[in-house]
Structure 1
Amino acid sequence: MISKRKANINLVIIYRLLIVFVAYAICRALFLAFHYQAFEPLNATAFVNIFIGGFRFDAAGIMYLNALVILASVVPFQFRHNPSYQKIVFILFVAFNLIGFALNIADIGYYPFTKTRTTASVFAQFSEEANKLKLFSQFLIDYWHLLVIFITMAILFVFAASRLTTGLPHIRHKGRYILASSLLIPIYIFVVILGIRGNLRSGAKPLYLNDAAAYAESPSQVPLILSTPFSVIRTLGKMSFEKKNYFNSEKELEQWMNPIHVPDSTATFDAKNVVIIILEGFGREYIGAVNTLPNAEPFVSYTPFLDSLFQQGRVYQHAFANGRVSIEAPPAIFASIPSLSMPYTLSQNANNELKSLIHCLDEKGYHSAFFHSADNGTMRFDAFMKMAGFDQYFGRTEYNNEKDFDGMWGMWDEEYLQYYAHEMTKMPQPFVTSVFTVTSHHPFSIPERYHNKFPQGHLPMHKCIGYTDHALRRFFEKAKQMPWYHNTLFVLVADHASIPWYDEYKTLPGEFAIPLCFFAPDGSIAATKDTTTVASQIDIMPTIMDLLNYNKPYFAFGKSLINTPPNKNFTISANKDRMQIFHNHLMMVREHETILQWMDLEKGYVAPNQKFTPEIESMDSLIQYGKAFEQQYYNRIIENRIYMCTY
């Protein structure tokens, strides 16, 4: 049996903290090893900067988690050496730090879905999930190797940390002992504050997530520099927005971005039904019809049906999700409200009054319904759909047929889409409805009867894409038989992109690239592939308004995609504080007021090291639009001005 060594209590504190720092460095190395390709080619300088920057964020996270333990260890009284007291301190030390290790290691598995470090918003996002235990269990099953890594690290950590302990010192002068111990307290406090703040410069702000960009050669490296414990702790309670004041006058602000849309009031409204199909995780790279990029090899398509359907509709080569997770999609699609810095529906302003697409069409006599086969309340969709004005919500409860349950999320897409088509026949026309598919989602399973029917591809997701494409084929076959079909405008869009396979989609624009198609069976929308307009989910509402000849003023952060002039050809996407701003063929990456990267979309998406400087005029346009968008977004949401038009 290996004996434990006794040492001065200060040495014990330093020794144990060093072990924690080593463990965090190992977690970062594992994070890099599992996702090396996502961080672009790394040279020696990049490695050094990553681990220097990573040390600062590790130190902050470690000090947050260990501040209480350090304080309990340095109290200037003799009882701190008591074996029972030391045992309690050690248990707290182990517990707090195992939480930190668990967060870091779990993010190795979660990162491919979000492309960022996990923040506190994840707890709000999943707080209402009825199947949290099942989701957690499935995560442990699918990522069992991470569980093994955590258990191994935990055992080694406890073993190493327990090797050095403090004994009962021989104290000759109690007063001197208390004085000497007290003099060390300010030093410990200084170290803890320095670790948490990251600096002690006068006027400097405490370390925050966006400071990681200073150590990165490109935005994609930022998650590698951050640590998950720091990201979670620093974002706890950060569910509110801050006002921006980049422009002094409303006139100057509206020259760059005006969310008030004023259509032709004399236009004759076309009361088509509207059906919006939201495809879970359908990244653009899976769909051959829109999967063409400059200088790229031919892609494998997993969607033969969508490939044929998209030939009949208006599709957008450069369409992007406004966010990275499902909860961000409905506000963007139905109300033209993206999520900047945090999901809109998780913010303190989520109960703001808004005027969505559904509200506008309700004024025209439309019936509305939203369909999602997961548990009612999943992703808080039911709450938002009430805010958005939907008349009906059809979830797992309303479907009421558990034999079609996939065992994790909801009903199999094939059966549920048939149900969706059938339910619409019961509704008065005109109607606006939407369905959100679920099968193309982790754990990436499909019905047993389709085993080996669809191409397995390179990723578990690929067979799910093939299955849902088949389910869509069957849906449209049934819809064609319905009396409402030929008087309907269909919109097909994804909620977000998913795990990529091709290098072209492992870049910043690729991570947000999704399909977007407007299709009308009556031929009123000319079949075309738009390769110049930059589009996103917030543009769907204004485009539908335009296609229906909606003739009243309305509010939307997006633009209509019909005949978009070059000077209005802007859109945005965001992943927490990082914002991508698109204008014609250019993309700018901006975090707060720092510009991180430029990219030319005409040269393709597969150039992560592509470095160039746009023309001054184009550069200024992107910068000004980004500032104007932020100011309109944050200030109007804070002031509850996203629902009415005032002139």
Structure 2
Amino acid sequence: MFLIYNFDLLHVESVTEFLKIQYHGLAFDTTAILYVNSLFLLMSFLPLFINTKKSYQKVLFYVYFVTNLIAYAINFVDFIYYKYNFSRTTIVVLDVVKHETDKGGMFFRFLIDYWHVFLLFVLTSSLWVYLYRKVNIAAVDRSKLTTKKNLIYVLQSLVVFCIVTVLTIGGIRGGDFKKSTRPINLVDANRHVQKIEQADLVLNSPFAFIRTFNANSFKKVGYEMDQAVVDKYVQPIKQYSNNPKSKPNIVLIITESLGREYLGAFNTEYNIPNYVSYTPFLDSLAGKSLIFPNAFANGSKSIHGMSSILSGIPSFKDAFTSSAYSKQEIQSLVSILNSEGYNSTFFHGAARGSMGFLGFSNILGFDSYLGREDYNNDDDFDGAWGIWDEPFLQYMKENIDDMETPFFTTVFTVSSHEPYVIPKKYEGKFPIGNVPMHQCVGYTDYAFKRFFEEAKKEPWFDNTIFIITADHGNQVYYKDMYYKPINRFTVPILIYKPDNSMAGVNMDLAQQIDIYPTVLDMIGYKKPFRSWGRSLVDSTDSTKPFTINYGSSHYQFQMGNYICIFDGKRAKGFYDISDKGLKNNLIGNKNAEMSQIENICKAYVKDYYDRIIDKKLSLKN
């Protein structure tokens, strides 16, 4: 069923290929089943004289189904969630929902929207319970057994218990009893597939969830690399002197789920058959802006985007913002602009604390945070996430009108998102398109148009740099292009100055963590600062264009002529830079450029974990 719901993403081309994947998946299924049923097994095989009694069997019934149905449900969640997350659900999902104030409302909305998945779960679970009840356990009257028979029973039970324990340990380890073998984890799924995305079909969701429980991925790497080599490759301390010092206002717009696919101006270079754009205003603005149609997100979740864009800190296996290491001094776009005399405000139309934005904005040092409660008019509440984009952007504009200059404002929009609805007064105004997201994108594009129409009437407008990007993508229609594993991370990056002095198209690789150093370069900030990204407007920067993000169990590093797939220790694949579908692994013909790219990737990963763990995210440390 997971394959049926996500067929376009997993690229299984034959029954034979499917059966091979399922065969390798049995080890992961067995491990998950043994994890989930460990208590049930213990209670079933211990030599207890009451284990055949009806009352004890009833307890076992509830132990069995409470644990199993919870695990079972996680698989069903991924029938739908996988389309947005592009990986099996892990413990990280709890970090995503824990800050939401209306969890009950979200849950019931998802039940209604995806009723067919819920119905499948109920039907299959009911069949499971029915079949379980068909198994009868014969009750034994222990009072009629002799001492000898009781002793035999105990000894037999202990032998069986030991056998079951050994087999359980072997099953959890993946069926391997070798001393050198560790229990299988998510990375091991990649050993059995040629197409990296199919590792998620080998895996199952309970396994992914359990194996990441209490797992701390923020650990220093296991390989050695000289610090001088790391500094040479990564150049973690940036310093620019390209532009005279200035203090323009900065308006940074992080658009919810605005994948590159939806914007016509960002797709003209790709010749997609029968392509249709849903962003007429942004397309027109792009003609007056510097745009990067080859840009990528550094993560797959909203909070990943916030930390990547504002502080240049990507998230890989787990979200940096929900780790214990986020509570340290962080040099960021916010802290540096604050030190330069900017007033900084974060706008988010959702409830305070939603998505963890309030907590992280406080860590970064925003002077103020304005959300749904501050807007104070729930007539404009969308019923799901927050205030509709159009009125909230007008609210932001009105607040900006009263700000002292220079100011730095960041807004995180909410409307271009599931449940894919727009205000009733605009129904029929925007093209329905081919997927529900298209109409929402049209509405958010209109909200941007209204914001710019009003903003350009104000005296602060002409001395403002506007940057528009996204946290991640969303629903895909042009599957041949945007279902490719690498292109699932595509986002737009647009930089606009009202004097049109930046107009142009730059096809170099770009990423969210580049926005932070780019802004500092543009305003003529000449002091050294920490950054893993590079300035997108500095033609003299010796840092080669690159992108880095994390798939379900591997790092994806693009640079030069190749894409490097890195498992945290070594490269597992090299692909031509145009092979975004990762079809043709070239690692068998590894050349000097590939070796260098692997070393650069290793240097970035090492410096990332070293600086986070050693608390060196600020030059003061």
The TM-score with structure 1 as length reference comes to: 0.92
Deviation at 1:165, TM superposition (A): 2.2
Q: Superposed, which structure 2 residues align to 1:155-170 within 5 Å?
A: 155-169=126-140
Alignment partners' CA distance in 1, 2:523 and 2:435: 40
Alignment partners' CA distance in 2, 1:611 and 1:444: 38
Change (3 A) 1:45 1:628: farther
Letter paired with 2:407: F
- Please tell me whether the aligned partners of residues 299 and 314 of structure 2 are also in contact (alpha carbons under 8 angstroms): yes
Letter paired with 1:414: E
Tell me which moved more, 534-543 or 286-295: 286-295
- Please tell me whether the aligned partners of residues 536 and 573 of structure 1 are also in contact (alpha carbons under 8 angstroms): no
- Residue in 2 aligned with 1:62? 33
1:213 aligns with 2:172: no
1:184 aligns with 2:155: no
Q: Superposed, which structure 2 residues align to 1:85-100 within 5 Å?
A: 85-100=56-71
- Please tell me whether the aligned partners of residues 256 and 416 of structure 2 are also in contact (alpha carbons under 8 angstroms): yes
Alignment partners' CA distance in 2, 1:541 and 1:576: 26
Alignment partners' CA distance in 1, 2:252 and 2:618: 22
Structure 1 residue corresponding to 2:19, chosen from 25, 48, 59: 48
- Please tell me whether the aligned partners of residues 534 and 543 of structure 2 are also in contact (alpha carbons under 8 angstroms): no
Deviations 1:387-423 (A, max 9, x none): 1111010011111111100001001111111111111
Structure 2 residue corresponding to 1:592, chosen from 568, 589, 604: 568
- Residue in 1 aligned with 2:87? 116
**Secondary structure at the counterpart of residue 505 of structure 2:** strand
**Secondary structure at the counterpart of residue 326 of structure 2:** coil
Structure 1: unaligned runs, 5 residues or longer: 1-29
- Residue in 2 aligned with 1:440? 416
**Secondary structure at the counterpart of residue 80 of structure 1:** coil
- Residue in 2 aligned with 1:504? 481
- Residue in 2 aligned with 1:238? 215
- Please tell me whether the aligned partners of residues 636 and 642 of structure 1 are also in contact (alpha carbons under 8 angstroms): yes
Deviations 1:372-395 (A, max 9, x none): 000000011001001111101001
Q: Superposed, which structure 2 residues align to 1:597-612 within 5 Å?
A: 597-602=573-578, 605=580, 607-612=581-586
1:551 aligns with 2:522: no
Alignment partners' CA distance in 2, 1:129 and 1:492: 25
- Residue in 1 aligned with 2:471? 495
Structure 1 residue corresponding to 2:365, chosen from 352, 375, 389: 389
- Please tell me whether the aligned partners of residues 340 and 576 of structure 1 are also in contact (alpha carbons under 8 angstroms): no
Deviation at 1:203, TM superposition (A): 1.5
Structure 1 residue corresponding to 2:594, chosen from 615, 619, 625: 619
**Secondary structure at the counterpart of residue 598 of structure 1:** strand
**Secondary structure at the counterpart of residue 589 of structure 1:** strand
Q: Superposed, which structure 2 residues align to 1:64-79 within 5 Å?
A: 64-79=35-50
- Residue in 1 aligned with 2:337? 361
- Please tell me whether the aligned partners of residues 294 and 602 of structure 1 are also in contact (alpha carbons under 8 angstroms): no
Deviation at 1:524, TM superposition (A): 3.6
- Residue in 1 aligned with 2:6? 35
The TM-score with structure 2 as length reference comes to: 0.95
Alignment partners' CA distance in 1, 2:594 and 2:217: 30
Deviation at 1:267, TM superposition (A): 5.7
Alignment partners' CA distance in 2, 1:317 and 1:618: 25
Structure 2 residue corresponding to 1:261, chosen from 238, 245, 267: 238
Alignment partners' CA distance in 2, 1:220 and 1:260: 35
Change (3 A) 1:596 1:112: farther
Tell me which moved more, 173-182 or 536-545: 173-182
Structure 1 residue corresponding to 2:425, chosen from 449, 461, 464: 449
- Residue in 2 aligned with 1:7? none
**Secondary structure at the counterpart of residue 131 of structure 2:** helix
Alignment partners' CA distance in 2, 1:150 and 1:631: 43
Structure 2: unaligned runs, 5 residues or longer: none
- Residue in 2 aligned with 1:152? 123
Alignment partners' CA distance in 2, 1:303 and 1:631: 40
Deviations 1:127-146 (A, max 9, x none): 12101111111111111001
Structure 1 residue corresponding to 2:441, chosen from 448, 460, 465: 465
Structure 2 residue corresponding to 1:325, chosen from 289, 293, 301: 301
Deviations 1:69-94 (A, max 9, x none): 11101111321111111111112112
- Please tell me whether the aligned partners of residues 461 and 498 of structure 2 are also in contact (alpha carbons under 8 angstroms): yes
Deviation at 1:247, TM superposition (A): 4.0
Alignment partners' CA distance in 1, 2:578 and 2:18: 31
Alignment partners' CA distance in 2, 1:157 and 1:428: 65
Alignment partners' CA distance in 1, 2:582 and 2:113: 30
How many pairs are equivalent? Answer: 612
Alignment partners' CA distance in 2, 1:444 and 1:205: 44
**Secondary structure at the counterpart of residue 220 of structure 1:** helix
- Please tell me whether the aligned partners of residues 278 and 494 of structure 1 are also in contact (alpha carbons under 8 angstroms): yes
- Please tell me whether the aligned partners of residues 570 and 598 of structure 2 are also in contact (alpha carbons under 8 angstroms): no
